[in-house]
Each structure stands twice: as structure tokens, then as C-alpha cells.
Amino acid sequence: MPFHNLEVYRKAYDLSLAMHRRTLSFPKFEQYELASQLRRSSKSICSNIAEGMGKQSSPQDVVRYLRNSLGSCDETRVWLEYGRDLGYLHGEEFRKWYDGYCEVGRMINGLIASWSSRRE
């Protein structure tokens, strides 16, 4: 299945694109620190899904990329917490981002379970 057809990819991509735009308004001194980390980790979720689904050399290989994607999802949530605690993301805005990445994480876990049950 092409990665573009996966709901998890589309959701992660949309979140990442919006996250990129949002972090551009972080303070200038954060553009090479926190904002950059948020942009890179959120994009890594999408790129690992795409790479794993594109290669599909074995179910284990796909699962390895999906696990990397899941790790980037968790990393993104950590950076979001920093953004909240440093005062760049507030209340409902923070919750929207955080909950979105929690949902993406659950979706990735479902995909991992699906691919883990496949035999070569």
C-alpha cells in the first residue's frame, strides 16, 4: 500500500505542516533550537512511515521504520511540552497538538501490530 493512502501518514503530514508554520512564530533565538527540533521530529514521523512503506523488503523492515516513526512521535510530544512550559504554546493550542500526536502514536502502534503479524 502506498504511504500516501495511509490515514496515519496523512494525519501526521497535516500536523507536521501546521507545526512547521506555527513554529515560525517562535522567538528568533528559538528558531535554531526548540522550533527546529519540533520541525525535524514531526517531519521524521512522516518520512519514516514513507520510507518503511516504500521499501517493504520484509515485514520486519517495515516495523523497524514504523518504530522509528513512533519514537519521533514521542520526541515531538516532549518538544511540545517544552514549548508549553516555556510559554510558547498555551492551553487549548498545546492540547490540540499534543492530542493530535497521541492519536498518531496510537495509529502507528496499530500499523506496527498489523505488520508484526505478517509472515515473510
Residues 70-86: tens digit of each pLDDT: 999 999 999 999 999 99
CATH architecture, domain 3-116: Up-down Bundle (1.20)
Is the distance from CB of 79 to CB of 97 less than 8 angstroms?
Answer: no
- Please report, rounded to a whole number, the percentage of residues in the chain having pLDDT higher than 90: 89
Distance between CA 113 and CA 37 in Å, rounded?
Answer: 28
Instruction: Indicate whether this model's pTM tops 0.85.
Output: yes
Which among 110, 100, 78 is positioned nearest to 15, based on CA atoms?
100
DSSP 8-state class, residue 28: G
> Rounded distance, CA 55 to CA 52, Å?
5
Q: Kindly report, residue by residue over 85-119, the tens digit of the pLDDT.
A: 999 999 999 999 999 999 999 999 999 999 998 86
| Domain residue ranges in the chain | 3-116
Rg (C-alpha) for the chain, rounded Å, is 15
Q: What is the pLDDT of residue 1?
A: 65
Q: What is the pLDDT of residue 49?
A: 96
Residue 116 · residue 13 · CB < 8 Å = no
